[in-house]
A and B are shown apart, each in its own frame.
Chain A
Amino acid sequence: MNLVTFSGPPSSGKTSVILKTISASKDRGLKIGVVKFDALVTDDDLLYEKAGVPVRKGLSGALCPDHYFVSNIEEVTEWGKGEGLDLLITESAGLCNRCSPYIKDIKAICVLDNLSGINTPKKIGPMLKMADIAVITKGDIVSQAEREVFASRVNTVNPGAVVMHVNGLNGQGAFELSTLLYDKKDDVDTLKGKKLRFSMPAALCSYCLGETRIGESYQMGNVRKIDMNGDKK
């Protein structure tokens, strides 16, 4: 089974891109399933179900979504194998711009949208920088110039990535993306022993453990302060 991880900021079009890509690769006779990771609630699993795609969802709730992802990915892979999938896609939202849910030797795709503004690529960090493929969506509603500028900014942050434009509404580009997703030789049996491409965002302070009161005396552990008197940076 192949495993591919999709991530990207909320509302960038991950689900639409995945759905269009799955539908574009129908003719190849692959069995494709999806596991959707989200924070509080998601209805996207219904969209996958409607499209006849085997799906499971995981909600991280009060936990860091990235940490939740990595602590579950092995079981998720087992599920995919049990379902007899040829290709398992995980979809997870990058919620804090420091998310980095990619695994070494597992194909990683970052979905970004043209509407998010040209400074977004540099703000996103490892989620874009470490991706193998950067998919840019919503190109049908911005000007050619903005598309070119946005793509060049993505390229500056991750020169090694393949940059693709996919339209989540009419599926333009989805077939092309689908040809890059599955490769028999990329089959994985287990994730045991594999490593993340980049360390995950760290935190361990009193607020992680449920503290709600505000004030220095309640803060313990990994705490950092803004330098209010320093130079403007």
Chain B
Amino acid sequence: MKNGKGLKNRKLSRILEDYPFLPSFFKDNLIGIDGKGNLTITELLNSIDEEEIEDKALDVENFHQSISEYIDQMLEFLGEEENKGVSKLTIIPGRDKLGNDEKFDSIEIGKSEIISIVGPTGSGKSRLLADIEWTAQADTPTMRKILVNDEIPDKKWRFSSSNKLVAQLSQNMNFVMDLTVSEFLELHAKSRMVVDEESVIKKIIEEANKLAGEKFDTDTPVTSLSGGQSRALMIADTAILSSSPIVLIDEIENAGIDRKKALQLLVGEEKIVLMATHDPLLALMGDKRIVINNGGIKKIITTTDKERKILTDLEKMDMVIQGMRKKLRYGEVLTEKDLNGGRNA
């Protein structure tokens, strides 16, 4: 406890000046502080009567420890904003479900790199992700080791609630809060202690609207966004506001969202992107593909120039389909011309 010392006997108003994030701590712990700035924390706790302590199930005994732990965590968390932690991730081989050694040297993944993960359902994709999230040190069933910046990572990644290594985006995710887009982003920004909330929120909405087929307003409830809009907002928010340096994507549905731009946005924000997908359009956007089978990494394929060419053609085909989708949405009739992306055959 570095900063917790001496808190007990300082005036609340001074403490709040030093640690402006504390009001929400008092609020969530059900301790009122309005008009009590002149009291020390000890006096504040003493001023709460027995009945209130009992009614609200307050834990006065451990409050000093709890608040100083919280302050330490927040200061550490805020300090880390400045030096963005992870520039390189290394996966050192372990073994597959049958105990066979994985046959690769090691995989190094840098900032702004996109790695696709392919393999049948149940092949061990989520185990690989979990190994990364847990920064495994030969202490998970796969015996893999994960290095961060060439070093054995600090255990804090495992247990920190605010500094998770991996952010996840998947098909099944929904918004469940009853908030508008701007309220929602404000809440997220507050929990991340962002200094310039307004401009960050503005940026997220701008970026999300670039990704979404249909633009949305800031006062739309998040729960009424379309699938594509939700996905776009989640991606923009994860890219810009999430603390996690690694983003794991589990497929992105090919509807109502510009997936190429989405990946570019994430990579542009210096995220390491791991993407489980079997969609050629997405898989080929990766710099490399990790092939998983039977719990183990079978091989690593670097996307070839030929494949990149194929990707360009695939993108054209995709444009054709997207173009038709758009026409249908606006009540138009499709013609053969549309098959050639609007040009005459």
Contact = CB atoms under 8 A, between A and B. Distances in A.
Interface of A: 27, 98, 100, 114-115, 117-118, 121-122, 125-126, 129-130, 139-149, 151-160, 162-165, 170, 172-173, 175-176, 179, 198-199, 202
Interface residues of B, number: 53
Interface string B127-142: 0011000100001110
Nearest to B187: A149
B170 interface: yes
Interface in B242-265: 242-244
Contact of B57 (A27, A100, A117, A151): A100
B65 interface: yes
Contacts of B173: 140-144
B162 A143 contact: no
Nearest to B167: A144
A145 B168 contact: no
Contacts of A115: 176
Top-7 shortest CB links A-B? A163-B161, A159-B70, A159-B69, A125-B57, A122-B28, A152-B191, A155-B161
B130 A172 contact: yes
Contacts of A118: 177, 187
Contacts of A140: 168, 170, 172-173
Contacts of B172: 140-141
A41 B243 CA distance: 43
A104 to B, nearest CB: 12
Given A126-B59, A148-B192, A143 B29 contact: no
A145 B174 contact: no
Given A145-B184, A145-B188, A151-B164, 16 more contacts: A27-B141, A117-B177, A126-B59, A140-B168, A141-B172, A142-B174, A143-B174, A144-B234, A151-B162, A155-B161, A159-B69, A162-B159, A163-B160, A163-B161, A170-B126, A176-B134
B241 interface: yes
Contacts of B28: 121-122, 153, 156-157
6 contacts: A141-B173, A143-B174, A146-B176, A156-B25, A172-B129, A176-B158
A57 to B, nearest CB: 27
Nearest to A126: B57
B237 A145 contact: yes
B147 interface: no
A149 B30 contact: no
Contacts of A155: 70, 73, 161-162
Contacts of B192: 148
A204 to B, nearest CB: 14
Contacts of A144: 167-169, 173, 234, 237-238, 242, 244
B73 to A, nearest CB: 6
A159 B73 CA distance: 8
B65 A160 contact: yes
Contacts of A153: 28, 191
A41 B188 CA distance: 39
Contacts, number: 123
B133 to A, nearest CB: 8
Given A143-B234, A154-B161, A175 B59 contact: no
Given A140-B170, A149-B191, A175-B140, A157 B177 contact: no
Nearest to B66: A159
A86 B177 CA distance: 42
A27 B231 CA distance: 39
B126 A139 contact: no
A202 B50 CA distance: 14
Contact of A148 (B69, B141, B174, B243): B243
Interface string B39-66: 0000000000000001011010000011
Given A163-B159, A176-B130, A145 B241 contact: yes
B9 interface: no
Contacts of B159: 162-164
Interface string B276-289: 00000000000000
Nearest to A116: B176
Q: Which of A142, A148, A157 has the most CB of B within 10 A?
A: A148
Contact of B59 (A142, A179, A198): A198
Contacts of B177: 117-118, 146
Contacts of B167: 144
A157 B176 contact: no
B226 interface: no
Contacts of B161: 151-152, 154-155, 163
A176 B173 CA distance: 23
A117 B223 CA distance: 14
A207 B25 CA distance: 37
Nearest to B250: A140
Nearest to B242: A144
